[in-house]
Structure 1
């Protein structure tokens, strides 16, 4: 059987462990669910009723049920560059009884019309992309005026740890800090304030020890501004 090829020439294929992990209970409930709940908290003003929602980098579709519960979209679209992941997404949507339109597409070249999306969910996707600026320009293009980008990312201070390098695969030369990601959003024209940004400090994202020293009482956690942030959540608006 011929292996299905990703639609993007710059796609960085995940490890076998990574592919397995992205369909695990830990991923869905301790990573995805926590991020979506935090993004809902950060939205501030009311969101549109029955929105068109795009999950950019939907992977294996483990977000679909959570997004449906959180935002009740009238139309949900899942986009990914990996055909194998999209097949998993199709099965997940069928299992949940959800209608999800699936698109095999690169985030840097999205096959959707201008101003066609109300909410764009991008969870742990940008750090996989080589063409990050182009992807963000595409997010801007497909969002309607007033539309929201719901972004949750890991920063270079997490992606560049030995355990993540060992277990997963990423384009290391494009990794960014939290502030660099925020600068990229500003440069594209997205608007957000401090109330729309959070820096989660979760046990699994601690750069060196997964928070073990703090759990054992051997170290006090550093506050925001005194640590290298490993996670960034932000809700940004297209004016």
Structure 2
């Protein structure tokens, strides 16, 4: 599900980028370490801030990234042009049907995308499929607790059925073959879950 105009504006501003760089990325690094020299996938890349972070902070050798919205992919192309095509590959794509072979990546990053996906369990299965055994899934997700708030319901557009709690998201990872093993934390009164899971 694509973001509505309000959420698109919220995601494309310097405050969101600063939170990603200075809060989310350090927390995910503490939970799962860096990815030096690795092949990484980012699902739902938006305008490319997450891809920059994966390259610069996490040290990935190459990032493949996609987004459901072609306009966001074009923004990412402009932002990441100095890395194209050597270190970054960008495309329009769907996390429930990832166009890549099995066990292709050493790590997958999700900076708050899967709560937009009605069939989020299929998305987790696809992420597990494209990870090599021992590969890591880094995630920051918005839970049902947040999506039930008046502000989210009034101004933002999200799937209305089968939303997950932090515990349910971690359990979904396990079912998909991704072991969280205690490497997850909930923040902001349970509105967000951050974690790292390892592929069996």
TM-score by length of 2: 0.92
Paired position in structure 2 for 1:229: 190
Mapped to 1, the partners of 2:21 and 2:147 lie a distance apart of 17
Q: Which residue of 1 aligns with 2:45?
A: 58
**Counterpart Cα distance in 2 of 1:31 and 1:162:** 24
Residue 105 (1) aligns with residue 66 (2): no
Name whichever structure is richer in strand by fraction.
2
Aligned residues: 197
2:105 equivalent to 1:117: yes
Is 1:83 the counterpart of 2:83? The answer is no
Alpha-carbon distance between aligned partners in 1 of 2:103 and 2:172, rounded to the nearest angstrom: 20
Structure 1: gaps spanning 5 or more residues: 1-11, 202-227
Question: Where does structure 1 differ by over 3 angstroms across 4 or more consecutive aligned residues?
Answer: none
In the TM superposition, residue 48 of structure 1 has moved relative to its aligned partner by: 5.1
Residue 124 of structure 2 corresponds to: 136
What's the Cα RMSD here? 1.5
Alpha-carbon displacement from aligned partner over 1:87-138 (angstroms, at most 9, x marks no partner): 11111112xx223201211101001111110110011111000111111111
For the 8 Å contact 1:160–1:172, the answer to whether it is kept is no
Bigger Rg, which one: 1
Equivalent position to 2:27, from 25, 38, 47 = 38
Deviations 1:201-238 (A, max 9, x none): 2xxxxxxxxxxxxxxxxxxxxxxxxxx51110110000
Cα distance in structure 2, aligned partners of 1:48 and 1:92: 21
Q: Which residue of 2 aligns with 1:180?
A: 168
| TM-score using structure 1 length | 0.78
Query: Cα offset for 1:33?
Result: 3.9
Segments of structure 2 that go 5 or more residues without pairing to the other structure are none
